[in-house]
Amino acid sequence: MITPLILYLDVPFATFRESHAREMGKTYPVPPPSTVYGMLLSLVGETNVYRHCGVELAIAMLSKPEKSRILRQMRRFKNTDFSHPENINPAYQEILSNLKCMIWVRSDTEKSQPSLKERIQLAFDHPELVKRFGCLFLGESDQLLKTIKLVPEDYLEGVRRWVIRDYRGELTLPYWVDHVGSRNTRFLRYRVDENSRLSPPDLAWTTIQSPI
């Protein structure tokens, strides 16, 4: 098995809006695999979400982000005119602060060449070769990453809280999001398990795969 790539992320503020939340912008307590995948595609300048299907991701939280609530303008489409005032309403939104985590990237079963893992390595080794646009964020587009860097497996900062697949788990997180409607969005159940392991448990790996 090829050694996975490991990334360290420091995000001052982040929101991972719950897919089924309606009246308030609730956030997942950890970054969903689909959100991490989208951030990695942005990092390497890839706009085709299907390009790196088959990549496997594992997530370990290094902090316990504080949750706060703010009042902001939210869009809820009641009128076909995008800019109509009826579509903008004040609503509460949850925000996480001081989010630090590690992301493992494994491309053993990926068919695309170069793989996402290889493209991430290239982005750090030769950033001048990457063609991308916009800022890099995790969550919503106004919540930028403070730090993203490659680290070794024995990198030490905080206690690792692994995001583990568990059909009885309390968290239901998307691993694939359908941005045109929602019928093809797919979820898995997870739990957060705190232990001293340096490498991901088998059930910490999630395969990013389109349902179609």
Backbone angles phi, psi at 203, to 5 degrees: -80, 0
Q: For the chain (length 212 residues), average pLDDT per consecutive 10?
A: 90 88 78 96 95 97 92 63 66 89 96 96 96 88 92 88 96 87 85 92 96 82
The CB density around residue 91, as the number of other CB atoms within 10 Å, is 15
Q: Which two tokens stand for residue 46?
A: 């890839």
Q: Are 58 and 103 in contact (CB under 8 A)?
A: yes
Domain ranges (residues) in the chain = 5-19+28-63+97-207
Query: Which tens digit of pLDDT belongs to each residue from 133-188?
Result: 888 999 888 789 999 999 998 898 888 999 999 999 999 999 998 866 567 889 99
Predicted pLDDT of residue 45: 96
The runs of H, that is alpha helices, within the chain are 33-44, 116-125
Predicted pLDDT of residue 178: 81
Looking up tokens 């903008």 gives 88
pTM of the model: 0.89
Predicted pLDDT of residue 31: 97
Predicted pLDDT of residue 48: 94
6-to-86, 116, 148 alpha-carbon distances in Å: 45, 13, 10
Give dist(CA 12, CA 180) in Å, integer: 29
Q: Which two tokens stand for residue 127?
A: 């950033």
Q: Which two tokens stand for residue 117?
A: 């893992």
The CATH class given to the 5-19+28-63+97-207 domain equals alpha beta
